[in-house]
Structure 1
Amino acid sequence: MKPYSILIFDWDGTLMDSEAHITQCMRNAIAIVGTEPRTDAEIRHIIGLGLEEAIQHLYPDKPRSLIRAIADEYRQEFLVRSKGGSELFAGARETLHALNAEGYYLAIATGKSRRGLDKVLDETGLGALFPITRCADETHSKPHPRMLEEILTDYDAAAHDALMVGDSEYDLLMARNIGMDSLAVSYGVHALDRLLQHQPRGHVDDVTHIPDWLTTQKDKK
């Protein structure tokens, strides 16, 4: 018996090592708009939120017009102008295929836009593994639990059937807000001590450790 039937993954910082790329795109967008810069640490802090909500965190006192201008430039940077990119974490592809072969249903709940997620799913060739996905620009942003509610509805499942896997406090808090177990990954954007404050069921230090961790949970559910 598997401990869960559905594994819901965050994307950036959990499956893809995209921190540097996101940070550079945001720095470029801010510079183009011409407002005060933000440090890499400040930008890393908001990775995982929906785009405009993330920028609002960076500039809480700025007008909506400036927030939207930065968001527009970020989209151009990420989707059009940027020639670089990000790679999946080592072993992520193999781990996902192994979990799929074990009979887990897979889903994604991400702060990316629909265009952004579709782009990386196409580039990585992983789209077929994730029949159900939710993005911040088509529902509520994390940590609101609406993404998870919609995924559970699509799978006709309850919160106790699923596990949220993520690298940010927004992922774990979203799971707590719906009463879903979560698994923290310590190699992403937020430090482990910060993640543990949100009471995940456990944590792993490498994406390839997820199958073994799930095996240890079979007798604990």
Structure 2
Amino acid sequence: MKNRFDLIIFDWDGTLIDSIDWIATCLQKAGEVCQCGIPDYQAAKDVIGLSIHKAMQALFPGQDDAMIERLVACYSREYFSKTISPEDLFPGVYEMLGQLRSEGFQLAVATGKTRAGLDEALAHTGTGHLFEVTRCADETASKPDPRMLHEIMAHVGVDKSRTLMIGDSIHDLQMAQNAQIASIGLSCGAHAEDFLQQYSPLCCLQQPTQLLDIIDNG
């Protein structure tokens, strides 16, 4: 597989960083504080990967725009109350990214996070320099719209046939399918393997660092 791809695009939450539990908890807290009800834990996990506004609309259907904005604001306060550190990355991720770069791959991030959220995460994990380009949901279309993937590929000048998407949610893999690029699913985040397989990934892995074996030996 090493000679098949030039560009590897990663989702962030649940793919490179172990953050799904925290995000789901913050989504639940927003519903509680805004008196909109506390969503089920799996329901909160299911919307991770969407833009925060789309996530709130899915979790709290029927709420007007003003309440959605309140929910987003409450979620953001709760989320940013925790400082991210390199220890929040899945084990071996930093080294994996460095190895992939040394082997000549261009790396990128396509995330449902806001730009502020991703920039903070990149800074606090020391990973920003490892990526050629990043795209966030508040500066382009939300997943599963393929626009952010098209923008990344255009930025680095790599064709879709040479691009691979790595993600832990159905939103990631559906976006890859919509962009007509290959994907690999990760079952360490928002969705289990049986859900991810619906979108025909090349394979599903349990941990991100298993990607190295697939790339080198696949």
TM-score normalised according to structure 2 size: 0.95
2:197 corresponds to which letter in structure 1? L
RMSD (Å) for aligned C-alpha atoms: 1.4
2:4 aligns with 3
Residues 83, 106 of structure 1: CA spacing in aligned structure 2 closer, same or farther, 3 A cutoff? closer
Name the residue aligned to 2:70.
Answer: 69
Could you say which residue in structure 1 is the equivalent of 2:165?
164
Q: Does residue 104 of the first structure (1) align with residue 105 of the second (2)?
A: yes
Letter in 2 for 1:101: S
CA distance in 1, matches of 2:177, 2:200: 8
SS in structure 1 at match of 2:165? strand
Matched position secondary structure for 2:36: coil
- For residue 83 of structure 1, report the CA deviation from its aligned partner: 5.4
1:106-121 superposed matches below 5 A: 106-121=107-122
Matched, 1:192 2:197: no
Q: 1:149 to 1:84 in 2, by over 3 A?
A: closer
CA shift, 1:97, in A, is 0.9
CA distance in 2, matches of 1:8, 1:16: 14
In 2: Cα distance, 1:131 partner to 1:163 partner: 15
Residues 28-58 of structure 1: per-residue CA shift (max 9 Å, x gap): 2222212111121110111111100011111
- The amino acid that maps onto 1:170 is H
Once the two structures are TM-superposed, the CA of residue 204 in structure 1 deviates from its matched residue by 1.5
User: What does residue 142 of structure 2 align with?
Assistant: 141
Residue 82 of structure 1: aligned partner: 82
1:68-121 Cα offsets, whole Å, 9 max, x none, are: 110011112222x33577711111111111111111100000000000000010
Name the amino acid aligned to 1:75: S
Asked if the contact 2:84–2:121 (Cα under 8 Å) also holds between the matched residues in 1, the reply is: no
Q: Distance in 1 between matches of 2:165 and 2:83?
A: 31
Distance 1:41 1:164, change over 3 A: same
How far apart are the structure 1 equivalents of 2:12 and 2:130? Answer: 13
Q: Count matched residues.
A: 216
Distance in structure 1 (CA, Å) of the matches to 2:42 and 2:127? 30
The superposition leaves residues 118-163 of structure 1 with CA deviations (integer Å, 9 ceiling, x where unpaired) of 0010000000001200000000000000000000110112111110
Partner-residue secondary structure (3-state), 1:16: coil
Letter in 2 for 1:155: V
1:19 aligns with 2:23: no
C-alpha deviation, 1:185, in angstroms: 1.0
Percent identity reads: 39
Report the TM-score when normalising by structure 1.
0.93
Question: Are 1:143 and 1:170, in contact at CA under 8 Å, matched by a contact in 2?
Answer: yes
Structure 2 unpaired stretches of 5+: none
Q: Which residue matches 2:50?
A: 49
